[in-house]
Structure 1
Amino acid sequence: MPASLLAIPLLPLASFVITLLVGRRWGARAHWLPIVAVLLSFCCALAAFFRVQSGVIINQDIYTWIQSGNLNVSVGFLVDQLTAVMLIVVTSVSSLVHIYSVGYMKGEEGYYRFFAYLSLFTFSMLMLVLGNNFLQLFFGWEAVGLSSYLLIGFYYNKRSAADAGKKAFIVNRFGDFGFLLGLFLVFTLFGSLHYHEVFGRVGELEGQTINLFGSRVNAATLIALLLFCGAIGKSAQIPLHVWLPDAMEGPTPVSALIHAATMVTAGVFLIARCNPIFALSPATLNLITVLGAVTALFAATIALVQTDIKRVVAYSTVSQLAYMFIGCGVGAYSAGIFHLFTHAYFKALLFLGCGSVILGMHHEQDVRSMGGLKEKMPITYWTFLLASLSIAGVPGLAGFFSKDEILLMAFNTDLAAGKFAWAVGTLVAFMTAFYSFRLLFLIFHGEFRGTEEQRHHLHESPAVVTVPLMLLAVGAVTAGWFGVPALLGGDNHWAHFLEPVLGHPHVHVSAATEALLMGSSILAGVCGIGLAYYLYRLKPQLPSLAAERLAFVYRLLLNKYYIDELYDAILVKPTLAFSRKVVLRIVDMACIEGVVNGLPKAIGAFAERLRRLQDGQVAHYLAWMGGGALALVAVLLIGL
């Protein structure tokens, strides 16, 4: 195995260990090792990509990890077309986030610790995508969960940040439980957890059923559903979406890394990697498609009215991830990964652009206190504009090509849910363009609505912040050019590159129909931008008037359909009450404490009473001896 391949995850791991141990001594220079390590990792990832492009696929075990009975699992790497793409996404975005963080986190307490955690996050995601078996995937899966907990709760003295970190960790446990059951079932049926063995024999699942609570269930469907549980949690789809918006409590660079390149993309990667299993279960694919469409619409409607700059982008991420699920659900796995690829750059740019605005606004995050920042922050404005145009699906930019590919494949599929997903996806494209430009207009145009102190501090961010923005802007524009469709004169190199791993469904719609579908999505985006311009530039008084007249709907969306309150009422509070009344009082205090503390107390009480017999009175001793002899004679007589 090439040493450069081993270096891809090991460099961030070494950076994490060294920075955590001695970074405190380096002070303001603690960022150098993590940045150099991730940049070298990116260079090695590029080398791996070009090696795969030339036809070299690596699937090699490094050493035996677990050997027990029939279970034999190694630590190994699989570097194919899918892995190569993910390596580029993770290392490139992580590199820019590391550099950006030098400016954003300057002067923060725990500066070295932050960069150590970033390195751990990068290592965890790299191990997830590099693994050649399910158990190594699960190791990376849980490691990114740990990393997100550490980074979301980085400001641990801040109650909301600590709660958000715990919320992300706990909510993901629900999905991970199903995922783990899926791994158990895979091993039970195949006797192996290695991809090449499982996927090579996946045809054995056709027609195979499993007795589940007295009912016969299709084996492929059950495995796919259990694996999908994990994907729902990590990629924040309904009903496990609630952790992702709250993750905004962490530093903005963390938000960019989570939303663009690491944790939330793991669920999409899982479905794409396990496509041979999912392809055997049309029922699961229909479920993925419907859930993706519902989540996309659900999150987009919430994003329409949010006032926290980062929450708008956070709900945008939930919605865009749902597009990826639609792509995978209709069997167009390469389209789903294509949107993952383009989304990484324009979403990282949006988040880091938000961070630049927050810096310029002296840590203000309410868009109602912004406005007119275009002149003061020109680089942030133009890069943010490019990201907004890209996510809105404006032709020629990255988001247009990947989103359009998914909508085409949703319309093209024979799955029952395909046309529904296409219709919802087109509607969400309109909403996405609207809330993206609503955010842009509220931040950068119009009159400044902040305080005089904020106006005084308003300034463009330093170069260490703006240079990563400009580099990401290049990706937000050009990343989609790898998948230009034939209708626009391209060859869709993206689909051809990933076809050996993910396949590529045949498009059976006519060129005229494809052009009509493309035109409808473009029209949806243009109308969304136009409506945002009309409401927030030409008639800025109308949004508040609409909020008053549609007060119920406005409050419903602003409060995120009260899902958090519902979960709090039916899950959190009953669980806490049960824990206090049953677990704490009965199990802990009565049973455990009763045994642990009660037994010594009983022995002590008995010893105290026994000690009183030793009072030094000879008459008492004679009485006890006489009584004992009498009792002994009585026992002997009864025995006779």
Structure 2
Amino acid sequence: METKDKKRRSALCVALLHRVLLQRNAPLLNNTSAILSGLFGRKIGVSGSQIITTTLVIITTLLAILAYLEVGLNNIPVSLKLIRWVDSESLNISWAFHFDALTVSMLLPVLVVSSLVHLYSISYMSHDPQHNQRFFSYLSLFTFMMVVLVTADNYLLMFVLVGVCSYLLVNFWYTRIAANQSSISALLTNRVGDCFLTIGMFAMIWAFSNIDYSTVFSLSPYISENVVTLICICLLIGAMAKSSQLGLHVWLPMAMEGPTPVSALIHAATICTAGVYLLMRSSPLIEYSSTTLLLCLWIGALTTVFSSLIGLFQQDIKKVIAYSTMSQLGMMVIAVGLSSYNVALFHLVNHAFYKALLFLGAGSVIHAMADNQDFRKYGGLRAILPLTYSVMMIASLSLVAFPYMTGFYSKDLILELSYGQYYFSSTAVYFIAVIGASFTTIYSIKVLYLTFLSNPHGPLIYYKNAHEGDLYLSIPLIVLAVFSIFFGYITKDIYVGLGSNFFVDNSIFIHPSHEILIDTEFSVPTIYKLLPFVLTITMSLFALIISEFLPESLMNFKYSRFGYNIFVFFNQRFFVEMFYNKYITGKILILGGQTTKFLDRGSLELIGPYGLEKGILYLGKSISSLDTGVITSYALYILVGLTFYISIPYIYSFDNSLILVMLYSLFYLINLKSLRSSVSDSVFKLLNKGKI
């Protein structure tokens, strides 16, 4: 028995050492590859950059899978503290990383999708005239920053640098004006959210004296609900910008100007899900703010139906998928508003795989059709691109929550939970989200039909050169297709099973009074569980019948005055961007210009070198005016100075106003002398002119 115990202890020590070494070094692999590819790209060449970055990201992914097995399934959370970052009295912030069930669950889609995007980009970007080494450096740097964000132990470390990486990726083709505008839009919109996130962190420092997770979450039950609500609303606005919720959503469709692998990386598994991850990580705070939960519920529902309606009227294949991303993010925020953070995480992971598959499949189509993104000029590609058609069919079925696909296990569960809460708001959100899901089905079938099943509508030269990609393009599609079919079925009991102990490490906190999963499982009427599926089938048939048998009726409606107005209204995205540009952006630009002008050329100059120079000159002139040549005045100055010097030790023993009286007397004398000198000069001038 003793021998077995010793062997068990030694094995445990080896495992712990192995885990610490792996998890300490794994995030640095992506940073190393980014530095090698970015700074030494000319030395190692295009192939060397591709091999180094892709290999290191794949190694990191394998280590993340090991971490998932050990930390997640074995319930062994690990914390690592590297160096101290901020050390200011009671505020201590470190470069520290925490691995728990939530962290490793987020690492899995981020790194799997990132490694497949790296592999996919080897072929997709091979003929790009831009600097390939720079592209792979940006990909690896972005992956490194996302790993830091996910594994961070405090809010400040979560906050850093990801926005800059997304700016670099979206603006990779920096010679295109549209790419410049899109990257600036993404950066500035996220800065709005970051501004509120910063306010939230200051509020945390004021309330909790720290911003690391363990301190904030352990003290949150003992803080006033109003303070917690203020912090949570600031966090929610930051998450709205990161995850493109209604109001701060304008950057997401514009970010399609980057290369397609960038779209797959940003909008499937990384920056778009960072906001939802922020809300899930902050569950011990949000659970004590009913106002924030209600806001999450309605913002998610409005985002879902808003983006679905817009996606229905888009013609760019990547923008349609982008709006479907926005719709699915709305579903995740609904789950957060229902206090079902585990379901939100489950849907996030599922969505990452099938949405990455949709984007990479769209990239395969764009690559085959001479970089044309308007799917109205496709058609008839099923025979030419059979693999791409198959994987996009799988991804679309998972997106519309077709039974037994990955998306079915999480998306329909969110709808059931919203009805199962039995409040008016959640019941209304259920019907709104079901309507949004119905529109999602329509535009998914529309894209599939116009791209693969309809008659060819593009130029002949497109079809002559169209072909499937090589292995580098095909392998990621096949792997993601397998995930899109089986991942939800395999992991359902892990994330949302009633007896699961996956989150026993308290990485996600659900207040006992907010638990609704059991009630939903047994008390929601069957009709409301089947309604999303019935509408999915109905809307699929409706979209196919309209496209195949009634296209003329659709065109006649579109060319009518009413249909034209509807199409313009939804195609222009509810005119939200026009409203921002006309009434908000311009006003803020003018206000910012005036404020900056006032600060830089006004206040800052007065307290800066210009103000100091003028103040010292004025003080010098005032002091020089005391030199009157009158000996009694000199005696008075000596007496005042001596009195001030003698009274210094006794200032605090008497009334503190004594020093103010003395200073006032001194300045009064200075001003009196300057006034006398100016009056005497005026009198002297009048005497010279003979007027006196």
TM-score interval (norm. to shorter): 0.7 to 0.9
1:37 aligns to what? 56
Q: Is the 8 A contact 2:420 2:524 kept in 1?
A: no
1:628 aligns to what? none
Answering whether residue 508 of structure 2 is matched by residue 502 of structure 1, we say yes
Answering whether residue 432 of structure 2 is matched by residue 456 of structure 1, we say no
2:568 aligns to what? 555
Greater displacement, 507-516 / 21-30? 507-516
Q: Is the 8 A contact 2:283 2:509 kept in 1?
A: no
Q: CA deviation at 1:63?
A: 2.0
User: Separation in 1 of the partners of 2:322 and 2:499?
Assistant: 27
Answering whether residue 560 of structure 2 is matched by residue 539 of structure 1, we say no
Structure-2 change in CA distance of 1:196 and 1:482 (3 Å):
farther
Deviations 1:418-468 (A, max 9, x none): 112111111112111111110010111111111122122221122211110
Answering whether residue 93 of structure 2 is matched by residue 73 of structure 1, we say yes
Structure-2 change in CA distance of 1:267 and 1:591 (3 Å):
closer
Q: Which residue identity lines up with residue 121 of structure 2 in the other structure? A: S
User: Separation in 1 of the partners of 2:422 and 2:85?
Assistant: 43
Q: Is the 8 A contact 1:350 1:387 kept in 2?
A: yes
User: Separation in 2 of the partners of 1:396 and 1:458?
Assistant: 33
Structure-2 change in CA distance of 1:476 and 1:509 (3 Å):
closer
Q: Is the 8 A contact 1:483 1:493 kept in 2?
A: no
Work out which of the residue numbers 401, 404, 418 in structure 2 matches 1:396.
Answer: 404
User: Separation in 2 of the partners of 1:75 and 1:240?
Assistant: 30
Give runs of aligned pairs for residues 120-269 of structure 1, distance below 5 A. 120-139=141-160, 143-205=161-223, 208=224, 218-269=226-277
User: Separation in 2 of the partners of 1:597 and 1:106?
Assistant: 55
Q: Is the 8 A contact 1:483 1:492 kept in 2?
A: no
Structure-2 change in CA distance of 1:286 and 1:580 (3 Å):
closer
Q: CA deviation at 1:523?
A: 0.8
Deviations 1:55-105 (A, max 9, x none): 211123222111111110111111111001011111100000000011111
2:391 aligns to what? 383
User: Separation in 1 of the partners of 2:508 and 2:604?
Assistant: 53
User: Separation in 2 of the partners of 1:48 and 1:593?
Assistant: 55
User: Separation in 1 of the partners of 2:81 and 2:24?
Assistant: 12
Answering whether residue 415 of structure 2 is matched by residue 407 of structure 1, we say yes
Q: Which residue identity lines up with residue 549 of structure 2 in the other structure? A: L
Structure-2 change in CA distance of 1:598 and 1:132 (3 Å):
closer
Q: Secondary structure at the match of 1:375?
A: coil
Answering whether residue 69 of structure 2 is matched by residue 58 of structure 1, we say no
Q: Is the 8 A contact 2:308 2:437 kept in 1?
A: no
Work out which of the residue numbers 443, 452, 459 in structure 2 matches 1:444.
Answer: 452
Q: CA deviation at 1:524?
A: 1.5
Greater displacement, 112-121 / 455-464? 455-464
Structure-2 change in CA distance of 1:329 and 1:415 (3 Å):
farther
Structure 1, gaps ≥5 residues long: 210-217, 600-633
Q: Secondary structure at the match of 2:84?
A: strand
Q: Secondary structure at the match of 2:575?
A: helix
Q: Is the 8 A contact 2:421 2:520 kept in 1?
A: no
Give runs of aligned pairs for residues 87-98 of structure 1, distance below 5 A. 87-98=107-118
Q: Secondary structure at the match of 2:503?
A: helix
Work out which of the residue numbers 90, 104, 110 in structure 1 matches 2:124.
Answer: 104
Q: Which residue identity lines up with residue 37 of structure 1 in the other structure? A: L
Q: Is the 8 A contact 1:286 1:416 kept in 2?
A: no
Q: Is the 8 A contact 1:334 1:495 kept in 2?
A: no
1:565 aligns to what? 578
Q: Secondary structure at the match of 1:2?
A: helix
User: Separation in 1 of the partners of 2:101 and 2:603?
Assistant: 56
Q: Is the 8 A contact 2:196 2:234 kept in 1?
A: yes
Structure-2 change in CA distance of 1:589 and 1:450 (3 Å):
farther
Q: Which residue identity lines up with residue 202 of structure 1 in the other structure? A: S
CA RMSD of aligned residues (A): 2.6
User: Separation in 2 of the partners of 1:110 and 1:495?
Assistant: 48
Deviations 1:367-405 (A, max 9, x none): 111101111001000000000000011000011111011
1:116 aligns to what? 137
1:492 aligns to what? 497
Q: Is the 8 A contact 2:33 2:53 kept in 1?
A: yes
Q: Which residue identity lines up with residue 193 of structure 2 in the other structure? A: G
1:624 aligns to what? none
Q: Is the 8 A contact 1:310 1:354 kept in 2?
A: yes
Q: Is the 8 A contact 1:432 1:528 kept in 2?
A: no
Deviations 1:486-513 (A, max 9, x none): 9xxx982896423543256242146473
Identity of aligned residues (%): 34
User: Separation in 1 of the partners of 2:496 and 2:581?
Assistant: 51
Q: Secondary structure at the match of 1:498?
A: coil
Answering whether residue 87 of structure 2 is matched by residue 86 of structure 1, we say no
Q: Which residue identity lines up with residue 410 of structure 1 in the other structure? A: S
Q: Is the 8 A contact 2:171 2:258 kept in 1?
A: yes
1:471 aligns to what? 479
Structure 2, gaps ≥5 residues long: 1-18, 612-679, 685-692
Q: Which residue identity lines up with residue 133 of structure 1 in the other structure? A: N
Q: Which structure is larger by alpha-carbon Rg, 1 or 2?
A: 2
User: Separation in 1 of the partners of 2:410 and 2:583?
Assistant: 39
User: Separation in 2 of the partners of 1:93 and 1:19?
Assistant: 20
User: Separation in 1 of the partners of 2:218 and 2:486?
Assistant: 36
Aligned length: 586
Q: CA deviation at 1:591?
A: 10
Work out which of the residue numbers 527, 531, 534 in structure 2 matches 1:523.
Answer: 534
Q: Which residue identity lines up with residue 534 of structure 1 in the other structure? A: I
Q: Is the 8 A contact 2:255 2:263 kept in 1?
A: yes
Q: CA deviation at 1:264?
A: 0.7
Q: Secondary structure at the match of 1:75?
A: strand
Structure-2 change in CA distance of 1:511 and 1:183 (3 Å):
same
User: Separation in 2 of the partners of 1:485 and 1:33?
Assistant: 37
2:30 aligns to what? 12
Q: CA deviation at 1:46?
A: 0.9
* TM-score computed with the length of structure 2 as normaliser: 0.81
Structure-2 change in CA distance of 1:517 and 1:455 (3 Å):
same
* TM-score computed with the length of structure 1 as normaliser: 0.87
User: Separation in 2 of the partners of 1:433 and 1:137?
Assistant: 35
Work out which of the residue numbers 428, 431, 434 in structure 2 matches 1:426.
Answer: 434
User: Separation in 2 of the partners of 1:25 and 1:420?
Assistant: 60
User: Separation in 2 of the partners of 1:536 and 1:327?
Assistant: 34
User: Separation in 2 of the partners of 1:331 and 1:408?
Assistant: 13
Work out which of the residue numbers 330, 350, 353 in structure 1 matches 2:338.
Answer: 330
Q: Which residue identity lines up with residue 171 of structure 1 in the other structure? A: T
Q: Secondary structure at the match of 1:439?
A: helix
Q: CA deviation at 1:283?
A: 1.1
User: Separation in 1 of the partners of 2:213 and 2:595?
Assistant: 44
User: Separation in 2 of the partners of 1:224 and 1:56?
Assistant: 29
Q: Is the 8 A contact 1:279 1:331 kept in 2?
A: yes
User: Separation in 2 of the partners of 1:543 and 1:476?
Assistant: 33
